Amino acid sequence: MRKLKHWIRNYFGFSQSEVNGFLLLITIMVLLTAAPFLFSKLYSSGQTISTSTSDKKLLDSLVAQLETVPDNYRRGPNAVPAVPLRAFNPNALTLDQWQAFGVPKYLSQRILNYRAKVGDLTYKAELGRIYGMPDSVFKRLYPFIDLPETRPDNYSRNRSIGSSRPRPTPNWDAKPREKFILAPFNINTADTAQLKQIRGIGSKLSARIVKYRDRLGGFYSLQQLAEVYGLQPEIIDSLNKYTFVAKAHAPKPVNLNTATIEELRTHPYMTSNLARAIVAYREQHGRFESVEELKKIKIVKPEQYEKLKPYLGV
């Protein structure tokens, strides 16, 4: 061993402590390399697993018993057993009965809430109009709903939400209520009340749209609505359907010759660097003679210029 240490020390130029560490490392590597073979040999010499015919038959019988357990009882301890669909009155079902027909619990509770606030369902299609009702679930239930196919003529229901008083007897002689039709409106003059008439837009989204519009200086295209944070594609589609930009509309311009850095940087299409560059260019070269002169600033990209152009003036 001493000769080996001496040879390693001379060959590699190691110190005595480095030689000792090198030998320790080699020993550990050898042990790690041999470990899998040692463990496999020890494992094979241990107890073997019984694979007798009787054990196999017992396992097969247990598997068969598990496979015969109804699927209703595999969904958890609180699952409601399913029952075959049959004719039913949706105004008389309880929460558990809805779930037994395969309706999720959250949707079953939503149906009960709808009946408590709005009143009993009067025709089949009304069930499908409940928020969140999947088409697949409604189509499966539709043939078994014990209600008229269409809404009864000349029927005006009392939709007083939260009222515990009994509903008055329907007035069969009353004229049918006219269907509400939302007329398209100008997106640049609309207030939050008008925007909330569109399904899916509440107080927060309507205020966010108005705030972004004011920061821009007005929309020059409905495509800009996609830039408003939080608007889902279906809401943008509804806005495109029910709003418009007047042809005579001209966005409120920002004067390149008088605006300060703070005033420029507040515009959604303007960056802080560009705002500083505009003011620096103005101080070095004098007044902007046209908006196109903005292209002379190197950091202005073509697509950014096109977006800013309607909102700038001199």
**In this predicted structure, which of 131-135, 144-148, 190-194, 310-314 has the lowest mean pLDDT?**
131-135
pLDDT at 39 over 90: no
Please check whether residue 123 is in contact with residue 155, taking contact to mean a CB–CB distance below 8 angstroms. Answer: no
Pick the CATH number of 254-313 from 3.90.550.10, 1.20.1050.10, 3.30.565.10, 1.10.150.280: 1.10.150.280
Q: What pLDDT digit, counting tens, does each position of 188-218 carry?
A: 999 999 999 998 999 999 999 999 999 999 9
Question: Distances from the Cα of 65 to the Cαs of 53, 60, 69, in angstroms?
Answer: 19, 9, 7
Domain ranges of the chain: 2-38, 62-151, 185-244, 254-313
How buried is 44 (Cβ within 10 angstroms: 0-12 exposed, 13-18 middle, 19+ buried)? exposed
CA dist 230 and 240 (Å) reads 16
Pick the CATH number of 185-244 from 1.10.3720.10, 1.10.580.10, 1.10.150.310, 3.40.50.2300: 1.10.150.310
Q: What pLDDT digit, counting tens, does each position of 95-115 carry?
A: 999 999 889 998 999 999 888
CA dist 243 and 185 (Å) reads 5
Look up residue 255 and give its two tokens.
């004067």
Look up residue 171 and give its two tokens.
């007035």
What average pLDDT score do residues 60-76 get?
50
- Long-range CB pairs of 158-162 (<8 Å, 24+ gap) are 158/119, 159/118, 159/119, 161/117, 161/118, 162/117
* 185-244 and 254-313: identical CATH topology: yes
Q: What is the length of the chain? A: 314
**In this predicted structure, which of 6-20, 60-74, 173-187 has the lowest mean pLDDT?**
60-74
Backbone angles phi, psi at 82, to 5 degrees: -80, 150
